[in-house]
Amino acid sequence: MPAQNNTNSPYTRYGYGELADRSFGAGRAMGGIGYGLRSNKQINPMNPASYTSMDSLTFIFDFGVAGQLSWFNDGIHNERRLNGNIEYIALQFPVHRRIAVSAGLLPYSYVGYNYGSEKINDVNYIEQFSGTGGLNEVYAGLSIDIWKKRLSVGANIGYLFGRMTHKQMLQIITDGSNITYRSKELEVRDVKLDFGLQYTHPFSARESFTLGVAYSPKKKLNTTSFDVFSNESGTPMEGDTTRNQAFDIPHSIGFGISYVKQNKLTLATDFSYENWGQARFFNKSNEFKNRIRVAAGGEFIPDNQNRVFFSRVRYRAGIHYSNSYLQVNNSSYNEFGASIGLGLPLIDNRSYLNVSFEYVKIKPETRLLIDQQHFRFTVNYTFNERWFFKFKVD
């Protein structure tokens, strides 16, 4: 599944783990933008109003994979980890000249870590922590062009599902050895909604400005939690299954603007706010903090009509900043990132192989937390074909 094995961060021990970047292809290389991005070359589930940007004869299929090399530093030890997996799969097609639909599978969050500690005082013990899983979303979206390719609205209905497993091993070393295992799991199965709007104002036949807004309402999730203690033989000593505790995902709203000179230049910026401070987790409403994210990026095409391959390549770059929604020991961290990428046109000049390279620095607010940085490599294939074109025969 997309939400497996995409991280090795110890911060994913908390909350729902690391929140996924929901941008595809070009948006990923431009800092993870998407709210104001409107392109007939790719799928953009960050704003469901964008689906009508395609023409009425086109079918788009999008598939992405990613790899990540991470470095961790706790002030004493340094560690490096490599991981990766399939990220998403999606498709999009028109059902009317003013209506388009999209569907796909994409990640919501990742959990993945493995670390331990050892203490020798009056009591010697070894403690080991590990976690796997995350949340995924299957979505179906509809977009309607309600005014002359200028104003579009859209909505996604998604099914959020997945399981996060957190394991703890405690070995107390005395004259003998006593080992206790704890497995804590959270299973989610529920529906979520996203709404979007985009307004495009043309300056000329080739230049336009787009304003986009996307909103996701707060949702109490249908969850089941499992908490099991067992001994070293694996025999359960104590267990609990709970279905009536409150878990929420928050209200979130995103704004984006973009300037496009057709087949030449795109400049865009995004801002989003997520009200995690009011979201409950195991019935508690003070586990998280509100999160903001800002991003900006651009794309440049030297000469889209030139036969020279590198003149038709789409060159992209972007930056982004966000704070974490997590609170760890009453502290948190900030995230800074920069990305570059290429949109490599295939033979028909409609389909693309998109590659992006992203560097992210996670800077803790205190020295007590782990310093983390990672380098992410993403490959995305966008199949864009005129499947609905009807040829005329004389």
- Tell the burial category of 350 from Cβ atoms under 10 Å away from its Cβ (0-12, 13-18, 19+): middle
Closest CA to 149 of 193, 106, 101, 199: 199
4 part of a folded domain: no
User: pLDDT by residue (tens digit) across 93-112?
Assistant: 999 989 999 999 999 999 99
- Given the DSSP bridges, would you call strands 252-261 and 207-216 parallel, antiparallel or unpaired? antiparallel
Structural domain count of the chain: 1
**Domain membership flag for residue 391:** no
Q: How much is the pLDDT for 8?
A: 83
What span, in angstroms and rounded, lies between the C-alpha atoms of 132 and 128? 14
- 181 versus 308: the higher-pLDDT residue is 308
Domain of residue 149, residue span: 10-385
Q: Is residue 272 part of a domain?
A: yes
| Residue at token pair 């310093």 | 371
Residue 150 is assigned to a structural domain of this protein: yes
Query: What does the pLDDT read at residue 376?
Result: 94
Q: Which tokens in the block code for residue 152?
A: 């579009």
CA–CA gap between residue 359 and residue 379 (Å, rounded): 15
Let me know: does 160 contact 188? Beta carbons within 8 Å: yes
Whether 2 is in a domain gets the answer: no
3-state secondary structure of 48: helix
Give the three-class secondary structure for 324. coil
User: What percent of the chain shows pLDDT beyond 90?
Assistant: 65
pLDDT over 70 (residue 4): no
Q: Which distant-in-sequence residues (6+ apart) come within 8 Å of 69 by Cβ?
A: 80, 81, 82, 374, 375
At residue 177, the pLDDT reads 62
User: What is the tens place of the pLDDT at every residue in 354-394?
Assistant: 999 999 999 998 877 889 999 999 999 999 877 655 444 44
Angstrom distance (rounded) from CA 228 to CA 234? 11
From 181-185, 261-265, 303-307, 365-369, the region with the lowest mean pLDDT: 365-369
Q: Which of 113-127, 270-284, 288-302 has the lowest mean pLDDT?
A: 113-127
DSSP letter for each residue of 83-120: EEEEEEEEEEEEEETTEEEEEEEEEEEEEEEEEEEEEE
User: What pLDDT is recorded for position 181?
Assistant: 84
Does residue 75 sit in helix, strand or coil? coil
Residue 321 pLDDT exceeds 60 = yes
What are 101's two structure tokens?
């639909």
In a domain, 3, yes or no: no
Q: What is the pLDDT of residue 230?
A: 78
Q: How confident is the model at residue 229 (pLDDT cuts 50, 70, 90)?
A: confident
Does residue 87 belong to any structural domain of this protein?
A: yes
* Domain CATH code at residue 277: 2.40.160.60
Instruction: Tell whether the model's pLDDT for residue 235 goes beyond 70.
Output: no
Query: Would 97 be classed as within a structural domain?
Result: yes
Structure tokens at 210: 């787009």
* Residue-level pLDDT at 224: 92
In this prediction the pTM is 0.90
Q: pLDDT tens digits for 132-162?
A: 999 999 999 999 999 988 999 999 999 999 9
Please tell me the distance from the alpha carbon of residue 320 to that of residue 340, in angstroms, as a whole number: 12
- The band of 179, judged by pLDDT with boundaries at 50, 70 and 90, is confident
- Asked if pLDDT for residue 122 goes beyond 80, the answer is no
Return the C-alpha torsion angle 199, 205, 206, 208, nearest 10. Answer: -20
Distance of CA 75 to the CA centre of its chain: 29
Of residues 276 and 84, more confidence is placed in 276
Alpha helices in 248-336 (DSSP H): 309-312
Q: What is the mean pLDDT of the chain?
A: 89
